[in-house]
Each structure stands twice: as structure tokens, then as C-alpha cells.
Amino acid sequence: MDSAQIFACHRDRLLALAYRLTGSVFESEDIVQEAYIRWHHTLKKSTLKKSTLEKRTLQNSAQEPSPREIETPRAWLTTVTTRLSLDYLKSARCQRQSYIGPWLPEPLIANQQQPDNMHALDQSVTMAFMVLLDRLSPAQRAAYILHDLLGYAFDDIAEILGVSSASCRKLASRSREKINAGAEHEPVPAAQHQQLIEAFFLAVRDADHRALLSLLTDDVIFHSDGGGKAAAAPHILKGKEEVLAWMKKVLIPALGQWQTLPGKRTLVCFNGSPGIVLWQEGKVISAFSISLAKSGIRQIYALRNPDKLQLFSRAAG
């Protein structure tokens, strides 16, 4: 098994790690590509150095690596990917200060040909969860993801982050407290989730205020990310009254105009749950996702930033 084949065995896992750390599909791909380049160069140097000490026969070189040898790339690649992601996060936080309006992660779109894809119906990549992760410091985020989500031991995380095991425990503990305080604790079956996102869309499209009132919780929160490149709410809207007022003023008229052009909508699984994607003249103009409580829709996520929406076009081929 050559270096490219070994790396291919870890690529999906590294992409999943980088996305959870950065919230960016594009950056995750760049980070994992950089990890591969470093892996390849490091392995090449190691091989050249080793060849000066010993010569292997053709028979030996064709043998598959042992499990112990395979575990080394896993640890090495995880460390490099995490550190590259942390470097990005530190720079991204500076850039985020100048971001116009609320920020949402780039959509992570499930493979429609593979319903059991690792990202489908995955609670660790939902918009709600990713927004919570973004409130953590880079170190807290890494410790929490590596330990609580991926099952790494604190001793291993300490080596990756360059801190003590005790510090890693504290980082993960503080992260857990913040996540648990803001997390939705009432998981809803996927079928019900799909029914509610479609009911929400139809209520907005048809300007059915009564239906909207019945669908939204009293403490509903509306996140709208336009990035200064598309019309969106300038801040996070909280409470049924504020959310409905904005919908009546902006969202409902916009969907009315969208219908006359005409546009089309598709149901797409992204960030672990069913969502509604709106198309116009072959381009995606909006994507909606929701998180639920027993009493109704608790949070609404509206992606409007064209830089992020292009991922839907890419996934559609």
C-alpha cells in the first residue's frame, strides 16, 4: 500500500474532522490537501533516510504494512489536520469580526446516491450544533470534537494541542457545559422533520400567517446569512413576534416574487437534516434548514450568501 492509498483510507475522516473544526467545506478540502502534501513529503524523506540504512528485497517491499504501521499515519494525519484547522480558526476569528450580519457554516451536503452517507442525519453537523461549536475557543472546540465526538484519549489530544492532559480535560469540560446549555434535547424523527420543513416553506410561500403561528415556538430564533452579498436579516431575530414581522416584510414578498419568475425548489439533506433549496435560473438563491422542539420550529437557518450556496450547485453536478 503506497502513501496515496494509505492517505485515501483516512481522507473522509480527516474531512469530517476539519469541517467540524472550521465550519467550512472549502477550507476543509484545502486543509486535507495540505495535510496530504505534508504527509507525502514527510514519508518521502523518511523513506530516503531509511534506504541509506537498509535495503529491502522486492518481496519484503510488496508486503502489506502491519496494523501498527497503519496506526502511525492515522495519528500523524489527525495531528496535522487539527493543527492546520486551528491555524485557520485563529485567522478566521479575525476575519469574522468584519463579516456582515450573522454567520452560518457552509452547507455540508449528503450524497443523494448514498442515503447512509456519514453526513446524513448526523447530529454532530447540524446547523444548530455547528453554531454552538462556533461559540467555543479554537482549543475548546478541538478538545471537545476530538474527545467527545471522535473518542480520542486526553493524552493523545494533549500531544496534538501541545498542552497537558489536565488542560485538555478542562477545555473539554468547559466546552461540554456550553454545548449542553444551548443544545436541543428533543430529537425529532427524520420523517417528521421533513414534514415540518415543507409545511414551513408552504406557509411562507402562501403567506399563511395562521399556519406560521402554529408552526413556530414562542422563543423561535431566525438566523439569516447573506454575508453582505445577498439580502438577509442584519442580526439574529429572536421571538415569534420579531421573526414573523420580518417574514411579513421581507421573506414572504421575496418568495412571492420568486414564484412568478418562475423558480423551483428541491428537498436536500444538508448538515444532518432535510432542508429546502430554492433555485432561480439554474442558480441556488436560498437554502432553509430548521431545528425543532416538541412544540414546533425552534430555530430557522436561512443561507443566502452566494459563496456558500454554490456548494449546492456543485453537489447537483
Q: What is the pLDDT of residues 224-267, one digit of tens each?
A: 999 999 999 999 999 999 999 999 999 999 988 888 777 899 99
Mean pLDDT over 156-181 rounds to 96
Residue 299 located in a structural domain = yes
Give the pLDDT band (50/70/90) at residue 185: low
Q: Among the listed ranges 62-71, 98-107, 214-223, which one has the minimum average pLDDT value? A: 62-71
Residue 165 located in a structural domain = no
Residue 132 located in a structural domain = no
Burial class (CB in 10 A: 0-12, 13-18, 19+), 191: exposed
Residue 40 located in a structural domain = yes
Grid coordinates representing 307 are 459563496
Mean pLDDT over 263-279 rounds to 92
Q: What is the pLDDT of residue 65?
A: 36
Mean pLDDT over 119-125 rounds to 67
Residue 159 located in a structural domain = no
Q: Give the residue, 68 or 248, on which the prediction is more confident.
A: 248
Roughly how many angstroms between the first and final C-alpha of the chain, as a whole number?
A: 32
**CATH code: domain of residue 294:** 3.10.450.50
Residue 252 located in a structural domain = yes
- Cis check: omega of the bond before 262, within 30 degrees of 0: yes
Structural domain ending residue among the three candidates 70, 98, 126: 98
Structural domain ending residue among the three candidates 98, 117, 143: 98
**CATH code: domain of residue 86:** 1.10.1740
Residue 87 located in a structural domain = yes
Cβ-based neighbour number of residue 12 at 10 Å = 13
Structural domain ending residue among the three candidates 98, 127, 160: 98
**Whole-angstrom distance, CA of residue 84 vs CA of residue 86:** 5
Which residue type sits at 31?
A: I
Residue 103 located in a structural domain = no
Domain containing residue 66: 1-98
- Structurally, the chain folds into a number of domains equal to 2
Mean pLDDT over 111-139 rounds to 75
Q: What percent of the chain has pLDDT over 70?
A: 86
Residues 303 and 202 in one domain: yes
On the question of pLDDT at 44 being above 90, the answer is no
Q: What is the pLDDT of residue 47?
A: 59
Q: Among the listed ranges 179-183, 298-302, 305-309, which one has the minimum average pLDDT value? A: 179-183
